[in-house]
C-alpha cells in the first residue's frame, strides 16, 4: 500500500499517528509525496543515520526534469547539483565554508550571541506582557547573528526574509524560483560591494578566497537561508516544549547547567515531519527488505528517526536529562549541517536565560491554535503569544 504524505501535520510537537504506525510496521515504506510522486520513506533511526552517510545516495539526479519530487521548493523539493560532479562539488564547497564555522570562530562569536539574546530579553521585560515571542525573540536573534556573521545589512532583513520564505515555498515552484533568484541577485550585489569595501565577515573572506561573484552569491545566500530559517523554528519549538512541560522548565531554570542537554532535547523532540531529507539512489541498493533502483527518491525522515523508540525510549516524552544516541536534527556524515555549532550557541544563549528570567511565562492560546506557516519548507510558527 502506498501512503500519502501531507504537506503539514496536525500537531507541531508530535509525530502523526499514521507516521507512528508506519514506523511500527517497518523501516522503509512506499509513499506518495505531497506533489503526487512516488518515493521510499525511511523512518528507523539506525537506517536513517547509516543512509545519511551512504555515497550511493545523492542530491542530484541524471534526469532532473523527470525526477520525483518531495515538494515544489527549489531549495529541497527535488534534485540539486550536477550528477557527474556532485561529490567533488560538495567536498569543495564544504572545504571553502568549514573554516568560517570552525570551533575557534564559534567560541569567539559566543559572547556576542549571548549579548544579543540578553538585549532582546531585556526589551521583552521592559515592554511587559502580553507579547509575541516569535517577533520579540525567535525571529530577530537568528537574523541578527547571521547578518553580523555574513556581513549582510540587518536593515535589509525585511527583503531577504521575504525572499527566503518564497524560496522555501513547497507548493508554488514559480514563487520558489522567484525567491531564490532574488536572493541570488542580492548576494551578487553584496559580493560586488564587499570587493570594494571588505569587512571582517564571511562574504568578504569568500571574496578574498578567489571565488567568483556568482559563487560567493550562491554560497552566502545558502548560508543566509539556512542560517536563520531553521533556528527561528527551533527557538519557537523549544519554547513550546518547555511551556508544555513545566517540571522540565523549572529544572532548567533552577540549574542552567542543564542547558546543553536541554538544547539537544529541544532539537530532537519536535515531531513535525515534512517527509525528511530527499536523496536519489545512484545505484541499486537494498534497504531493509526493499530493493531501491537507480533514480528512486528516498526520503530519510530524520524527525521520525528522532522518535524511534528503539533509540529513544518513550520518544514522545520531553526529557532534558536524556542519555541516548545523538539526534539527527542536523543530519549525519559528510552532509552534517555546517552551521550546527552556530545554531547550538544561539539556542543555548536563549534557553540559559529565558526559563529563569520568565518563570511564570505561559501561552495565551492552546498549542493547537498557534498560527503556523503553511506551505513552508521549514515550517514553524508565525506568532507565539505569551504572558507572565
Give pLDDT tens digits along the chain (388 positions): 677 876 555 566 677 777 888 888 889 999 999 999 999 999 999 999 999 999 999 999 999 999 999 999 998 899 999 999 999 999 999 999 999 999 899 999 999 999 999 999 999 999 999 999 999 999 999 999 999 999 999 999 999 999 999 999 999 999 999 999 999 999 999 999 999 999 999 999 999 999 999 999 999 999 999 888 899 999 999 999 999 999 999 999 999 999 999 999 999 998 665 678 999 999 999 999 999 999 999 999 999 999 999 999 999 999 999 988 999 999 999 899 999 999 999 999 999 999 999 999 999 999 888 998 877 777 789 999 999 9
Q: Which three cell numbers stand for residue 339?
A: 552551521
| Res 43: pLDDT | 94
Distance of CA 50 to the CA centre of its chain: 20
What pLDDT score does 12 carry?
A: 63
> Under 8 Å CB-to-CB from 228, ≥6 apart: which residues?
142, 143, 145, 146, 161, 164
Burial class (CB in 10 A: 0-12, 13-18, 19+), 289: exposed
Q: pLDDT value at position 229?
A: 87
Q: What is the pTM of this model?
A: 0.94
What the block records as the C-alpha cell of 188 is 551578487
Dist. CA 320–CA 267, nearest whole Å: 11
Nearest to 237 by CA among 340, 355, 134: 134
| Domains of the chain, start order | 3-387 (1.10.630.10)
Backbone angles phi, psi at 97, to 5 degrees: -90, -30
Query: Can you spell out the DSSP letters for 306-371?
Result: TT-TTTSSSTTS--TT---SPP-TT--GGG--TTHHHHHHHHHHHHTTHHHH-TT-EESS-GGGS-
What CA–CA distance (Å, rounded) separates 277 from 136? 30
For cell 547539483, what's the residue?
Answer: 81
Amino acid at each position: 500500500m502506498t501512503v500519502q504524505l501531507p504537506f503539514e501535520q496536525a500537531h507541531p510537537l508530535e509525530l502523526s499517528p499514521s507516521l507512528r504506525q508506519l514506523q511500527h510496521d517497518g523501516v522503509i515504506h512506499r509513499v506518495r509525496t505531497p506533489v503526487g510522486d512516488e518515493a521510499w520513506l525511511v523512518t528507523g533511526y539506525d537506517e536513517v543515520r547509516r543512509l545519511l552517510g551512504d555515497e550511493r545516495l545523492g542530491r542530484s539526479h541524471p534526469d532532473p526534469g523527470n525526477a520525483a519530487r518531495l515538494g515544489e521548493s527549489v531549495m529541497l523539493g527535488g534534485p540539486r547539483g550536477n550528477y557527474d560532479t556532485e561529490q567533488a562539488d560538495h567536498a569543495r564547497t564544504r572545504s571553502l565554508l568549514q573554516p568560517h564555522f570552525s570551533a575557534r570562530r564559534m567560541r569567539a562569536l559566543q559572547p556576542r550571541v549571548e549579548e544579543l539574546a540578553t538585549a532582546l530579553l531585556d526589551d521583552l521585560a521592559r515592554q511587559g506582557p502580553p507579547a509575541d515571542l516569535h517577533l520579540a525573540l525567535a525571529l530577530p536573534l537568528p537574523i541578527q547573528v547571521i547578518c553580523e556573521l555574513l556581513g549582510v545589512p540587518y536593515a535589509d532583513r525585511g527583503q531577504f526574509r521575504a525572499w527566503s520564505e518564497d524560496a522555501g515555498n513547497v507548493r508554488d515552484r514559480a514563487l520558489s524560483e522567484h525567491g531564490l533568484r532574488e536572493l541570488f541577485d542580492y548576494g551578487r550585489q553584496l559580493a560586488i560591494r564587499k570587493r570594494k569595501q571588505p569587512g571582517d565577515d564571511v562574504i568578504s573572506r569568500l571574496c578574498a578566497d578567489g571565488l567568483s561573484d556568482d559563487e560567493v552569491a550562491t554560497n552566502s545566500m545558502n548560508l543566509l537561508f539556512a542560517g536563520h530559517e531553521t533556528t527561528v523554528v527551533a527557538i519557537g519549538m523549544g519554547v513550546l516544549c518547555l511551556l508544555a512541560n513545566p517540571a522540565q522548565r523549572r529544572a532548567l531554570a533552577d540549574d542552567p547547567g542543564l542547558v546543553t542537554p536541554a538544547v539537544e532535547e529541544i532539537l530532537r523532540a519536535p515531531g513535525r515531519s515534512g517527509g525528511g531529507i530527499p536523496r536519489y539512489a545512484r545505484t541499486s541498493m537494498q534497504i531493509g527488505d526493499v530493493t531501491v533502483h537507480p533514480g528512486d527518491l528516498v526520503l530519510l525522515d530524520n524527525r521520525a528517526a528522532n522518535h524511534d523508540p528503539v533509540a529513544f525510549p518513550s520518544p514522545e516524552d520531553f526529557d532534558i536529562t536524556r542519555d541516548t544516541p545523538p539526534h539527527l536534527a542536523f543530519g549525519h556524515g559528510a552532509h552534517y549541517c555546517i552551521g550546527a555549532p552556530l545554531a547550538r550557541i544561539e539556542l543555548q544563549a536563549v534557553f540559559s536565560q529565558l526559563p529563569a528570567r520568565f518563570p511564570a511565562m505561559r501561552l495565551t492560546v492552546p498549542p493547537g491554535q498557534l498560527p503556523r506557516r503553511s506551505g513552508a519548507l521549514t515550517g514553524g510558527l508565525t506568532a507565539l503569544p505569551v504572558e507572565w
